[in-house]
Amino acid sequence: MNMNKTGENLYRTSIIQELNKLGHVSRIESHATSIGVPDLNFFSKSGHETWFELKWLGLDNKPEIRSSQVMWHRNRWRVGSNSYFLIGTHDCEHILIPGMAAESLKTLEHDKEHWYAMAYGVWRESPNPPMEDILKRIEAEYL
The pTM for the full model equals 0.89
- The CA distance from 94 to 91, in Å, is 9
Q: pLDDT (tens digit, 9 = 90+) per residue, 122-137?
A: 999 877 889 999 999 9
141 φ, ψ to 5°? -70, -20
Q: What CATH number does domain 3-140 carry, 3.40.1350.10, 3.30.230.10, 3.10.20.440, 3.40.50.720?
A: 3.40.1350.10
pLDDT-based confidence at residue 69 (cuts at 50, 70, 90): very high
- 69 exposure class (CB count in 10 Å sphere: 0-12, 13-18, 19+): buried
pLDDT of res. 110: 66
Mean per-residue pLDDT over the chain, rounded: 87
Give the pLDDT mean for 85-112.
86
- The CA distance from 2 to 133, in Å, is 30
Residue 52, pLDDT > 90, answer: yes
